[in-house]
Structure 1
């Protein structure tokens, strides 16, 4: 934001306005070259993830659409640290309190009064099993409806997202959740108008807030899912604990290391039909409006974030 303010000052001819000097990148010199050596894959098959955890009973099978979710319902799930420091570039506590919080209150009031938010969710529960590295979503008759293939760690615990689902050979059927949430297209249209008007500071603030509000809605709905599945007793008392995922289960968004294949979004879209809440998938497998997220929701007590390219 400071850089954009300086740029606009120069562009408008404000006396004394200058751009900051470029910082020189410094790379430490090495006496010897670094050799890239592929580490050998450690032997072993499936990870040691438990397969005897209780399988919860979902409130329904299939999908449901929920519209008209009010800002007050999910605003408390806003990750202010990610917003102030990550999106708005406010690095110290003083600037956050003196500048960040007042502007946040102003933006939230404006979003409410101008009705720029259209929060909606489409979610569902489906029977499933796993086979090797595959998550197999079943239809009502027990046949295969669709299949996701996930990467497995080659070292350490050898985790794979499919390991958190009952294996097919167990003879038991598990349950998997999927969700797509959006705060709608109006807020994106408002940010575009700010950009066209060269109001870059306001654009960056509103864009950053819109992205974090979509995440807040996703966190809020994941908590609803845990409650529906009867596993919310492990939820922490504080919102900070929620952001540290100190609860049972995990919400995996596509594109992250455990499920990196964005083409899998087409499978989620086929299951949930998110166009019912105004969300569409582009040819590049991006969600539109931008302020939308999708996720695979797993209930297993050991489910957590991990890098499929290495150790836990």
Structure 2
């Protein structure tokens, strides 16, 4: 009636609809849910608490269950059954990651309550895995999600943290008598480290002792289950997410213990025979067709400047909410509005009131020229200060990042911008505390928000650079256009396709001295704290993102 506007004398469908919800409040809805739970049999009620992520009343139910059943039976036959349902719901797309983590929090609380009632042998778990982010990689969110899911499904997890050399991983595996080793990494370079680690296990004769699960954004199933499987003399498998890691762990332990019917999933088969790439002599393909007569803007200063104390309100409006809600928090559908926005508002208020952010920028403008594939940064006298060498496309326009600057032979000097931004280390410390406190959903959300706020700060500062260079007149009016780079120039972060060499960070650090804002470069060319980004800022109107592949 409301949709078709079927109003009549004395009848308003909107009023009728509102009357259905008269007296309904959040408190009454929660009370109704509690009554619904209370009506269930005890075992079903405990299982439902895990699935729904409902802590209220949990301890009373566990206390009642202990009167008739051993603690270990409650865990194995009821609580883990609930977590199994959670995994199935997540796998089928019916449950989203934040709610999975709420279920894991309830599971953790339940096991903590029951542990004093277990024998020591009861608490040894279903099996043991040593988890680590590999040497040189500071990213740990994916690894920690695996820790959460495995530990709350009955496994003992030895989480070594980030930047772990293979020797530390193997020492921990021996000390804890691990059944499986899990290695994680976000960087492309980490895939090479993983390969080296597998070769080290081969050389030490340990490949038969330790099946290996690998995961991380830079990995592919084909690379792990074809290329690395051919190298490793034991079992190696790829886990796309934490629940695939759980299924693999179940299979590996089942096979090891001779459980009837236990088997590993089939490896991804190679569709075409592997061929070694033909080695070709590098060819000088020359410069691309990028224009060399565009105006060169005058920078407001030469050298570097440091800006500290940037307020959240200045860059919060640059936050990419889609990347935060979908990419970082794992929300989709109606929950983007019902869960995402209210929780984001709450977090932004908390960041402000608890003073968790220490946003700062160091940036600068430098004279430069290009020569072939090189960008040469000059000093005030026109002498070479440092140079960056970038890959060039082997086909198409044959683009190279150096092409967006005046060639040396033109006799003209160009300008390049460099920037490093950070939201500080305090927010990372708060995130770590949440993980240690088993506040899994808050941990996921604060970590994801901190990463996206660093990106928002980088976008905000890039806009300021465009304004200072006098090229901001064509900037789009809406954030969506900004995020689609519908403006003049481009911000290239190191490690991506156009400038893949992370070693170049040392050159940027030498020029900008980012330690002045609390950002340091590791031996593996990673920025610390993690919530920091660097960039080469290009003003050329044709500059855009492109994939250079490799040097031709």
- Structure 2 counterpart of 1:140: 380
Q: C-alpha deviations, 1:67-118, integer Å up to 9, x for none?
A: 11111100000000000000000011x1011111000000000000111111
Q: How does 1:177-256 map to 2 (within 5 A)?
A: 177-256=417-496
Moved more, 226-235 or 33-42: 33-42
How far does residue 182 in structure 1 lie from its aligned partner after superposition? Answer: 0.6
Secondary structure, in 3 states, of the residue corresponding to 2:110?
coil
Structure 1 pair 77–275 and aligned structure 2 pair: CA distance change class (3 A): same
- Structure 1 counterpart of 2:304: 63
Q: Note if contact 1:42-1:154 (Cα within 8 Å) is conserved in structure 2.
A: no
Q: How many residues align?
A: 306
1:171 to 411, 417, 423: 411
TM-score norm. by structure 1 comes to 0.92
Which has the higher relative contact order, 1 or 2, with Cα contacts under 8 A spaced 6 or more apart? Answer: 1
Find the structure with the greater CA-based Rg. Answer: 2
Unaligned runs of 5+ in 2: 1-96, 112-151, 154-242, 249-263
How far does residue 264 in structure 1 lie from its aligned partner after superposition? Answer: 0.6
Secondary structure, in 3 states, of the residue corresponding to 1:217?
helix
Matched, 1:7 2:104: yes
- Structure 1 counterpart of 2:295: 54
Q: What is the distance in 2 between the residues matched to 1:27 and 1:250?
A: 41
- Two-structure CA RMSD over aligned residues (Å): 2.3
Q: Note if contact 1:42-1:155 (Cα within 8 Å) is conserved in structure 2.
A: no
Structure 1 pair 37–47 and aligned structure 2 pair: CA distance change class (3 A): farther
Structure 1 pair 25–173 and aligned structure 2 pair: CA distance change class (3 A): farther
How far does residue 9 in structure 1 lie from its aligned partner after superposition? Answer: 3.1
How far does residue 192 in structure 1 lie from its aligned partner after superposition? Answer: 1.1
Q: What is the distance in 2 between the residues matched to 1:154 and 1:297?
A: 24
Matched, 1:72 2:313: yes
How far does residue 13 in structure 1 lie from its aligned partner after superposition? Answer: 3.0
Q: C-alpha deviations, 1:7-62, integer Å up to 9, x for none?
A: 33333338xxx9678499888878x6355475888983211111110000000000
Matched, 1:299 2:545: no
Q: What is the distance in 1 between the residues matched to 2:533 and 2:306?
A: 15
Q: What is the distance in 1 between the residues matched to 2:268 and 2:106?
A: 36
Q: What is the distance in 1 between the residues matched to 2:323 and 2:265?
A: 26
TM-score norm. by structure 2 comes to 0.53
Q: Note if contact 1:135-1:148 (Cα within 8 Å) is conserved in structure 2.
A: yes
Q: Note if contact 1:178-1:296 (Cα within 8 Å) is conserved in structure 2.
A: yes
Richer in helix (by share): 2
Matched, 1:33 2:272: yes
Q: C-alpha deviations, 1:110-153, integer Å up to 9, x for none?
A: 00011111111100000000001000000000000000001111
Q: C-alpha deviations, 1:172-210, integer Å up to 9, x for none?
A: 000000000011111111111111111111111001000
Q: What is the distance in 1 between the residues matched to 2:273 and 2:323?
A: 35
Q: Note if contact 2:108-2:438 (Cα within 8 Å) is conserved in structure 1.
A: no
Unaligned runs of 5+ in 1: none
Q: What is the distance in 1 between the residues matched to 2:384 and 2:520?
A: 25
Q: Note if contact 2:318-2:459 (Cα within 8 Å) is conserved in structure 1.
A: yes
- Structure 2 counterpart of 1:124: 364
Secondary structure, in 3 states, of the residue corresponding to 1:128?
strand
Q: What is the distance in 1 between the residues matched to 2:428 and 2:417?
A: 28
